[in-house]
């Protein structure tokens, strides 16, 4: 697979928690947990499970955190 994103972080899935329509996939990236919210359908299509080696691909324009 080739992708234009430059923020691709290799890691390992440590948790997949499905909701009604959306799943939260927690990825351990060198000790830092990155959480991705994707559809349950995407989890099934990709066959994601705990222990899988994956890449967290981050679109910088969508990463926002603020405090006080």
Spans of all domains in the chain: 8-61
pLDDT of residue 12: 97
Indicate the pTM of the whole model.
0.83
Give the pLDDT band of residue 64 (cuts 50, 70, 90): low
Contacts of residue 59, Cβ cutoff 8 Å, sequence gap at least 6: 5, 7
CA separation for the pair 62, 16 (Å, rounded): 21
CA separation for the pair 42, 18 (Å, rounded): 11
User: Residues 5-29: what's their mean pLDDT?
Assistant: 94
pLDDT of residue 53: 97
pLDDT of residue 6: 80
CATH of 8-61, one of 3.20.10.10, 2.40.50.100, 3.30.413.10, 2.40.30.10: 2.40.50.100
């Amino acid at each position: 697979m080739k992708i234009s994103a430059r923020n691709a972080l290799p890691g390992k899935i440590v948790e997949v928690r499905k909701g009604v329509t959306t799943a939260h996939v927690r990825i351990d990236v060198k000790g830092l947990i990155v959480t991705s919210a994707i559809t349950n359908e995407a989890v099934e299509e990709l066959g994601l499970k705990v222990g899988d080696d994956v890449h967290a691909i981050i679109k910088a324009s969508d990463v926002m955190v603020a405090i006080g």
